[in-house]
Amino acid sequence: MRCGSGIEARQVDELFINIDPIQAGGRLTADAMKAVIAYGDGYSVCDNCRKPNRLDYIAKPPIAEFHKDLATWLNMDSARVVPGARRGFQAVAHTCVKKGDPVLLTSLSHYTEFLAVEEAGGVACEIPANDGHIVTADAAAATIENAKRRYGRAPVLAFIDHVDYQYGNVHDVQGIAKVAHQYDIPVLCNGAYTVGIMPVDGKDLSADFVVGSGHKSMAAPAPSGVLATTAEREKEVFRTTTISGDLTGRKFGIKEPELMGCTLMGVTLMGMMASFLHVKERVKHFENELANNRIVTESLLSIHGTKVLSEYPRKHPLTRVDTTGSFDTVAQTHKKRGFFFSGSLVENGVHGIIPGATRIWKFNTYGMTTVQAHHLAKVFVTIAEENGLKIS
Amino acid sequence: MRCGSGIEARQVDELFINIDPIQAGGRLTADAMKAVIAYGDGYSVCDNCRKPNRLDYIAKPPIAEFHKDLATWLNMDSARVVPGARRGFQAVAHTCVKKGDPVLLTSLSHYTEFLAVEEAGGVACEIPANDGHIVTADAAAATIENAKRRYGRAPVLAFIDHVDYQYGNVHDVQGIAKVAHQYDIPVLCNGAYTVGIMPVDGKDLSADFVVGSGHKSMAAPAPSGVLATTAEREKEVFRTTTISGDLTGRKFGIKEPELMGCTLMGVTLMGMMASFLHVKERVKHFENELANNRIVTESLLSIHGTKVLSEYPRKHPLTRVDTTGSFDTVAQTHKKRGFFFSGSLVENGVHGIIPGATRIWKFNTYGMTTVQAHHLAKVFVTIAEENGLKIS
């Protein structure tokens, strides 16, 4: 099926159970799809932009209200929408980090956090995750002390993933923030896998910044995201422009340079907004997501030789498994090699595993129904049985 | 009409002739609307992302091919998509400008160019437009010499608007670039109002960077845009990441820090791509747009007391007019004050003039049919006649 200009129409989420690690939380709600259709045109949210001419002041559609609601929902003081979580990282890094400054990251940090540090001229100091792949407050304290010895000063910012992209593990943001604050280090909580998925309370986490991803976890189109902060830090990261034209004397009102002025002027923002009521509701039922994940993960663990590399029991539906001792043994002699596995999944209505992967791979059960979870659980076992693997 | 979650469905471009200065070129094509529906979900273009895992390498949908086509079309060597022209400005400014560096802008530069300079720590040096509101090579030369005297060195970058947002005038990018290059100043041609509207040949303009806006002028959803550059400059602005994890030794492949890695992972890019064939075609018929603009502008000029502030005859459909001597004289005594004008336009099926404006205002005839241009021309004259203004 083509959707014009020779582009094939994507039907992944219409035809399959999609367990792609990064896609499960960004599937649009029906309301978002309607908003996408109504606000597809370029600058579609600017019809009623009036002075002071800034996106987050537009009353119709209710963008101003949405910004307030976003901040309240995250229990932070102020929020802005951004073109992806990474642009939130960039704004914060550019605000807090100067050339040569040490910056805390973790051994599980996402590449976009590293790029934000690189762009700002900072130096990466990774907090090591422990053997269980969890980043702890103790490890943060040790890394800060190491950085102080090495650079003669404490790091100027900490990027802490609430849930990391590799294992989907929940890290101790609160404990790490407590330690970091003793050194006056502001903490950015990277909620790309949590904001819109599970409850996130920025104040409770002691976060100075909470960043979320619209297209990863808030059922919104790409690129979209949120950067929320405290009353203290908003003066820094959301400071207004001070540059002026040397000749004309022009000034540029209350535009915010870290955001490059307005950010999401159309479909991306409206998709986020239309999904927001649903997203607020769905995080309240996160336990159901873990229950569905358990159905699937237990099925995988029933296949001899399969390991769950993520923390267990799971606290997040993004899960990393090692099937070197199970599906990969089949791949060794299968005529389709590793592709037998992804191929069989697709034949059974499951999409989102990297084609050919049979050793270490990730899946995300987020957003599926219990019926779908049972189907997926059965598919894994069936593929295993059909290929002679032992089930217990 | 509501589209869910209490959001009113926008129907501006369905129900009206939209002459909003910033919206006319960003209206989606039918193919883009189809792509928006098919690729609304979050990370919808990432299904077939394979090593080296970068957006512009994805073969299906044909994103890699689109990037090559974009560069060729602009007659530049390399191109990337960005979340709005402003993010292209930011990437270039951050690459070229260090703290305290003088940067050339013009007295007609857009605020986002100033913000990009501010973010990079640069100092603005505006090239003055002449009395006809045109920025010339001579003025650029004088401003460079002034900057050299004042800062002890030449500016490090020049932002030159191909067509500015205030008057819609066409500026001498080629002549200015010739002068700038004598001082080794790279030139960014801001094509936010031209790329996708009229033919743009980056090499012919001698531009080092060409930036375009998807949502302003390429019939694409927001935020989207393009940053194209030369073989020489791509090594700088599209350099790949060099940061690494101090503990894990992790590196981050060929991700580009100025772009923060991948940029448009879904609906925005697919909208741009789906419109691209149409956009390539429409720029070839730019003369028709000027002919339509002439119909409308001549009608306005037939109303006594009305002035066109933009260069005349028009070379671009974005046009600034002064109706202080015509419609504003009516507003002085009208019970609806200035709102009589915008209100009458809406009643006659015309949208996009700032409500209440009757002195200096802008409109954009881009994309309308000749029948619509005649309708609009007649509407202006009719409103004038109904309010006792003299027509010649």
Q: Can you give the pLDDT at residue B3?
A: 74
Q: Which helix (H) or strand (E) holds B274?
A: helix B267-282
Beta strands B158-161 and B187-190, pairing class = parallel
Mean pLDDT calculated for residue range B364-373: 98
Question: How far off is chain A from B390, nearest CA to CA, in Å?
Answer: 31
pLDDT at B1 over 80: no
Helices (H), ranges, chain A: 12-15, 30-38, 63-73, 85-96, 111-120, 137-151, 173-182, 214-217, 231-237, 267-282, 286-301, 327-331, 339-347, 370-386
Q: Considering only CB atoms, which chain A residues are within 8 Å of B274?
A: 3-5, 7
pLDDT at B245 over 90: yes
Is B321 strand, coil or helix? Answer: strand
Both A48 and A17 in a single domain?
Answer: no
Both A184 and A257 in a single domain?
Answer: yes
Both A141 and A176 in a single domain?
Answer: yes
Q: Can you give the pLDDT at residue B270?
A: 98
**Which of A126, A221, A277 lies closest to B266 in CB terms?**
A221
Q: Report if residue A329 sits inside a domain.
A: yes
Question: How far off is chain A from B31, nearest CA to CA, in Å?
Answer: 5
CATH number at residue A310: 3.90.1150.10
Query: How many angstroms separate the most distant Cα atoms in chain B?
Result: 78
Both A159 and A50 in a single domain?
Answer: yes
> How many alpha carbons lie under 13 Å from residue A313 in its C-beta half-sphere?
9
Both B19 and B58 in a single domain?
Answer: no
The percentage of residues in chain A with a pLDDT greater than 90, rounded to a whole number, is: 98
Measured CA to CA, the distance from residue A211 to residue B197 in angstroms comes to 36
Mean pLDDT calculated for residue range A16-29: 97
Both A217 and A341 in a single domain?
Answer: no
Token pair belonging to B30: 């039918």
What is the domain range of residue A352?
Answer: 2-24+285-386
For the full predicted model, state whether its pTM sits above 0.80: yes
User: Given an 8 Å threshold on Cβ–Cβ distance, is B42 in contact with A221?
Assistant: yes
Both B293 and B353 in a single domain?
Answer: yes
| pLDDT level of residue A197 (50, 70, 90 thresholds) | very high
The 10s digit of each residue's pLDDT in A333-353 is 999 999 999 999 999 999 999
Mean pLDDT calculated for residue range B167-183: 98
Mean pLDDT calculated for residue range A175-196: 98
Cis, peptide link before residue A313, omega less than 30° from 0: yes
Both A295 and A381 in a single domain?
Answer: yes
Question: How far off is chain A from B344, nearest CA to CA, in Å?
Answer: 17
pLDDT at B335 over 90: yes
Closest residue in chain A to residue B273, using alpha carbons only: A5
Q: Considering only CB atoms, which chain A residues are within 8 Å of B165?
A: none
Q: Can you give the pLDDT at residue B6?
A: 80
Q: Report if residue B14 sits inside a domain.
A: yes
Q: Can you give the pLDDT at residue A231?
A: 98
Q: Report if residue A377 sits inside a domain.
A: yes
Both A87 and A208 in a single domain?
Answer: yes
Q: Which helix (H) or strand (E) holds B227?
A: strand B225-229
The percentage of residues in chain A with a pLDDT greater than 70, rounded to a whole number, is: 100
Mean pLDDT calculated for residue range B184-189: 98
The 10s digit of each residue's pLDDT in B118-153 is 999 999 999 999 999 999 999 999 999 999 999 999
Question: How far off is chain B from A279, nearest CA to CA, in Å?
Answer: 11
Q: Report if residue A275 sits inside a domain.
A: no
pLDDT at A3 over 80: no
Measured CA to CA, the distance from residue B34 to residue B28 in angstroms comes to 10
Closest residue in chain A to residue B280, using alpha carbons only: A5
pLDDT at A2 over 90: no
Q: Can you give the pLDDT at residue A382?
A: 98
Those residues whose C-beta lies under 8 Å from the C-beta of residue A337, and which sit 6 or more positions away, are A331, A356
The percentage of residues in chain B with a pLDDT greater than 70, rounded to a whole number, is: 100
Both B228 and B371 in a single domain?
Answer: no
The 10s digit of each residue's pLDDT in B211-227 is 999 999 999 999 999 99
Count of domains for chain B:
2
CATH number at residue B206: 3.40.640.10
User: Given an 8 Å threshold on Cβ–Cβ distance, is A44 in contact with B222?
Assistant: yes
Measured CA to CA, the distance from residue B366 to residue B356 in angstroms comes to 23
Closest residue in chain A to residue B59, using alpha carbons only: A7
Both A125 and A207 in a single domain?
Answer: yes
Q: Report if residue A37 sits inside a domain.
A: no
Mean pLDDT calculated for residue range A60-85: 98
User: Given an 8 Å threshold on Cβ–Cβ distance, is A35 in contact with B246?
Assistant: no
State the Rg of chain B over Cα: 22
| pLDDT level of residue B5 (50, 70, 90 thresholds) | confident
Q: Can you give the pLDDT at residue A163?
A: 98
User: Given an 8 Å threshold on Cβ–Cβ distance, is A94 in contact with B119?
Assistant: yes
| pLDDT level of residue A6 (50, 70, 90 thresholds) | confident
Q: Report if residue A391 sits inside a domain.
A: no
Q: Report if residue B29 sits inside a domain.
A: no
The 10s digit of each residue's pLDDT in A253-293 is 999 999 999 999 999 999 999 999 999 999 999 999 999 99
Both B230 and B319 in a single domain?
Answer: no
User: Given an 8 Å threshold on Cβ–Cβ distance, is A9 in contact with B222?
Assistant: no
Q: Can you give the pLDDT at residue B2?
A: 77
Those residues whose C-beta lies under 8 Å from the C-beta of residue B149, and which sit 6 or more positions away, are none
pLDDT at B332 over 80: yes
| pLDDT level of residue B98 (50, 70, 90 thresholds) | very high
Cis, peptide link before residue B52, omega less than 30° from 0: yes
**Which of B5, B8, B260 lies closest to A112 in CB terms?**
B260
Mean pLDDT calculated for residue range A16-33: 97
Mean pLDDT, rounded, of chain A:
97
Q: Which of A265, A298, A329 is the last residue of a domain?
A: A265
Q: Considering only CB atoms, which chain A residues are within 8 Å of B20?
A: 43, 46-47
Q: Can you give the pLDDT at residue B214?
A: 98
